[in-house]
């Protein structure tokens, strides 16, 4: 486009200049013949002047354009020179970088070749060293396996001897299974078993390359004396452990010699069982001797409650808790009932009547509730046979207690778990009231007004003592509460002391 514009200006300039020269030449040579054209009267002078002006402008534009084009051309040449300089420097830099790259690649290749050479040398050295170490390790392992085999064979031999010895002991035990002296028999066998090492040492001394008969005789004599002492000790230890297993309450008397000497005041086992303070079973000697009566009795009760309980104790405690709710008016009718803990007093002879409760209703009729309690886990289910048993015992009670006035007998089943669908249908059909009640806390200390004594759950007469609250008797929550109301602990050992 720039070349076209430049050529166009050149043509226009040439035409303008040529036209001006020609037109001027014509005017100068024919001005006489055509002078009338320039006169104002002819009317064409304006056109001629305009044409001359245009030609002049064209000449000026042509000259200015030529000047501008010349200047731009110089600038273009200057830029082209600059670009050529840049190209030269760029090419020079590229060549320099190419050479540097080739040098770096060559240096890296040298390093790689050097590393490969070093690696190969190290691998050769490692393989050689590894081969030697493997041979050494294999030799060491073979030696250890040889030693292990020897040790294994020795242990097998020892175990075989022990098994043989134990087999003879078992045979001996089977022969005397019904022996009247089991502790003596077991002590004799254990003494033989634990003195086998003496027999081995005696055999070794007698049969070694250079026998030592005197040393073997000394070992035999030591075995005999040691066996006699071990026999006496084992027999006494087995009897001792056996007695403590049967009578764990004796443990508290073994803490020191003074406590053990106190056993001498009991005439026999029955007197020991009746006269000893059962609170001592839950206390140390220091606690029993240094605490006040209120403190040590309360501490013994607290520890007794935290003990691991059997099924019978779990059941009795649930019956006492339900009895407490009935006496407090927190179960059934909402009124306080007269409660007889029938199952606690009669044990297995309670005919399925754990609690017998009474009240007089609004029509002055006596209502008797025959209550059976079951404290079972949530995973167990009550079946219909239990409901039938309760209905049967309630019916027997009603038939055997007919009197002048009719007594309303209501069977009630209280439990901690759910009934099966069939059991629930039986209960609805037979009129058995079902109550699901979780275990809770209740006052455990029985306060008997006749003797003004309070009974703790571990006391000998606790479960045979009946509390009738209409007579002023009550259950206390704490030992302090019972003592503050004038009651003292019921225990026979105080009489002897």
Give the Cα separation of 10 and 70 in Å (integer). 12
Question: How many Å apart are CA 39 and CA 31, to the nearest integer?
Answer: 11
Structure tokens at 258: 């003074």
Share of the chain above pLDDT 90, in %: 21
Q: How far is C-alpha 380 from the geometric centre of its chain's CA atoms?
A: 27
Give how far the C-alpha of residue 139 lies from the chain's centroid of Cα atoms, to the nearest Å. 49
- The stretch 138-163 carries a mean pLDDT of 78
What DSSP assignment string belongs to 446-487? EEETTTTEEE-TTSTTTTT----GGGT-EEESSHHHHHHTT-
**Residue in the structure block whose two tokens are 């439990």:** 415
Band the pLDDT of 355: cuts 50, 70, 90.
very high
Question: Rounded distance, CA 17 to CA 56, Å?
Answer: 9
Residue 471 has pLDDT above 50, yes or no: yes
Closest by CA position to 475, among listed 328, 258, 262: 328
Q: What pLDDT, in 10s, does the model give residues 217-274?
A: 887 788 788 878 877 887 787 777 776 666 665 655 565 555 555 555 555 555 555 5
In this prediction, residue 324 carries a pLDDT of 92
Distance CA 272, CA 240 (A): 18
Confidence check: pLDDT of 24 > 70: no
- What confidence score (pLDDT) does residue 496 get? 40
* pLDDT tens sequence across 85-99: 888 888 888 888 888
Q: How confident is the model at residue 372 (pLDDT cuts 50, 70, 90)?
A: very high
**Who wins on pLDDT, 104 or 65?**
104
**Closest by CA position to 445, among listed 482, 415, 414:** 482
Q: How many CB atoms lie within 10 A of CB 320?
A: 23
Domain boundaries, the chain: 2-166, 182-246, 309-442
Give the pLDDT confidence score for residue 260 in this predicted structure. 57
CA distance 473 to 453: 10
- Pinpoint the alpha helices (H) of 30-44: none
332 versus 487: the higher-pLDDT residue is 487
d(CA 421, CA 431): 15
pLDDT for 389 beyond 90? yes
Q: Tell me the pLDDT of the chain averaged across its residues.
A: 78
Cβ(343)–Cβ(355) below 8 Å: yes
480 neighbors 447 (Cβ within 8 angstroms): no
What is the rounded CA–CA span in Å between residue 26 and residue 386? 153
pLDDT at 494: 45
Please state the rounded mean pLDDT for residues 348-353: 83
Higher local confidence (pLDDT), 316 or 21: 316
Residue 229 near residue 195, CB atoms below 8 Å: no
| Chain-centre distance for alpha carbon 350 | 46
pLDDT of residue 122: 82
Backbone angles phi, psi at 360, to 5 degrees: -105, 120
According to the model, what pLDDT value does residue 51 have?
A: 67
CATH class of 309-442: alpha beta
Orientation of helix 182-194 relative to helix 213-246, angle to 10°? 140
Integer Rg of the chain from CA: 63
CA distance 193 to 136: 45
| pLDDT higher than threshold 50 for residue 150 | yes
Tell me what pLDDT residue 31 has: 47
User: Mean pLDDT highest for which of 120-134, 151-165, 374-388?
Assistant: 374-388
Output the pLDDT for position 418: 93
Structure-block tokens of residue 442: 């209740």
pTM: 0.50
Lowest mean pLDDT among 9-23, 32-46, 246-260, 439-453: 32-46
**Structure token digits, residue 185:** 């028999």
**pLDDT for residue 113 is more than 60:** yes
């Amino acid at each position: 486009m720039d070349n076209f514009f430049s050529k166009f200006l050149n043509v226009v300039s040439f035409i303008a200049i040529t036209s001006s020269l020609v037109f001027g030449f014509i005017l100068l040579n024919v001005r006489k013949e055509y002078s009338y054209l320039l006169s104002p009267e002819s009317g064409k002078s304006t056109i001629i002047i305009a044409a001359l002006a245009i030609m002049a402008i064209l000449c000026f534009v042509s000259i200015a354009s030529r000047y501008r084009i010349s200047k731009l051309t110089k600038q273009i040449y200057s830029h082209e020179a600059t670009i050529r300089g840049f190209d030269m420097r760029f090419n020079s830099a590229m060549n320099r970088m190419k050479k540097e790259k080739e040098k770096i690649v060559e240096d890296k290749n040298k390093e790689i070749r050097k590393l490969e050479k070093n690696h190969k040398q190290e691998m050769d050295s490692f393989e050689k060293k590894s081969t030697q170490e493997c041979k050494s390790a294999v030799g060491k392992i073979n030696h250890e396996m040889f030693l292990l085999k020897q040790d294994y064979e020795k242990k097998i031999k020892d175990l075989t001897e022990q098994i043989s010895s134990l087999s003879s002991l078992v045979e001996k035990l089977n022969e005397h299974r019904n022996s009247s002296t089991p502790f003596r028999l077991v002590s004799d066998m254990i003494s033989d078993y634990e003195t086998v090492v003496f027999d081995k040492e005696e055999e070794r001394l007698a049969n070694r390359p250079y026998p030592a008969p005197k040393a073997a005789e000394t070992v035999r004599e030591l075995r005999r004396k040691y066996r006699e002492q071990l026999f006496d000790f084992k027999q006494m230890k087995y009897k001792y452990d056996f007695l403590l297993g049967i009578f764990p309450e004796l443990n508290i008397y073994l803490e020191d010699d003074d406590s053990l000497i106190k056993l001498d005041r009991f005439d026999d086992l029955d007197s020991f069982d009746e006269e000893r303070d059962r609170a001592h079973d839950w206390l140390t000697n220091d606690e029993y001797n240094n605490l006040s009566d209120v403190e040590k009795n309360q501490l013994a009760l607290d520890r007794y409650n935290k003990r691991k309980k059997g099924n019978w104790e779990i059941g009795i405690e649930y019956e006492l808790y339900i009895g407490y709710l009935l006496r407090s008016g927190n179960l059934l009718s909402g009124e306080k009932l007269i409660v007889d803990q029938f199952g606690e007093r009669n044990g297995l002879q309670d005919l399925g009547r754990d609690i017998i409760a009474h009240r007089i209703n609004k029509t002055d009729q006596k209502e008797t509730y025959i209550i059976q309690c079951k404290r079972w886990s949530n995973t167990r289910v009550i079946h219909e046979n239990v409901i039938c048993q309760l209905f049967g015992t309630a019916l027997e009670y009603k038939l055997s207690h007919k009197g002048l006035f009719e007594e309303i007998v209501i069977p009630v089943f209280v439990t901690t778990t759910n009934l099966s669908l069939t059991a629930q249908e039986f209960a609805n059909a037979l009129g058995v009231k079902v109550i699901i009640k979780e275990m809770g806390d209740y006052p455990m200390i029985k306060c008997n007004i006749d003797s003004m004594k309070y009974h703790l759950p571990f006391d000998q007469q606790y479960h045979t003592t009946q509390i009738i609250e209409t007579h002023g008797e009550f259950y206390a929550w704490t030992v302090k509460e019972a003592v503050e109301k004038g009651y003292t602990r019921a225990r026979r050992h105080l009489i002897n002391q």
